[in-house]
């Protein structure tokens, strides 16, 4: 996972999309304030290795 903290949200979304990542932004109705479109935290943490997902959803959703 690339380090997106401190970068503009739009730039992060575009570079994430180009890298094959599906990124989710914050909920604008959340009690946590937004900071001028800048990423202030991310989950998973930078450097985390991710498994590729198959088409059709998150792999853990099929374990039920």
Q: Is the pLDDT of residue 63 over 80?
A: no
Q: Which domain holds residue 48?
A: 1-64
Structural domains of the chain, count: 1
> Who has greater pLDDT, 5 or 59?
5
Does the global pTM surpass 0.85?
no
SS3 of the chain: CCCCCCCEHHHHHHHHHHCCCCCCCCCCCCCCCCCCCECCCCCCCCCCCCCCCCCCCCHHHHCC
25-54, pLDDT tens digit by residue?
Answer: 777 777 766 667 888 888 888 899 888 776
């Amino acid at each position: 996972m690339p380090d997106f903290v401190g970068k503009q949200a739009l730039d992060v979304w575009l570079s994430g999309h180009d890298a094959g990542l599906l990124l989710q932004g914050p909920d604008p109705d959340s009690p946590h304030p937004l900071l001028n479109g800048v990423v202030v935290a991310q989950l998973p943490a930078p450097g985390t290795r991710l498994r590729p997902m198959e088409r059709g959803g998150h792999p853990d959703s099929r374990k039920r």
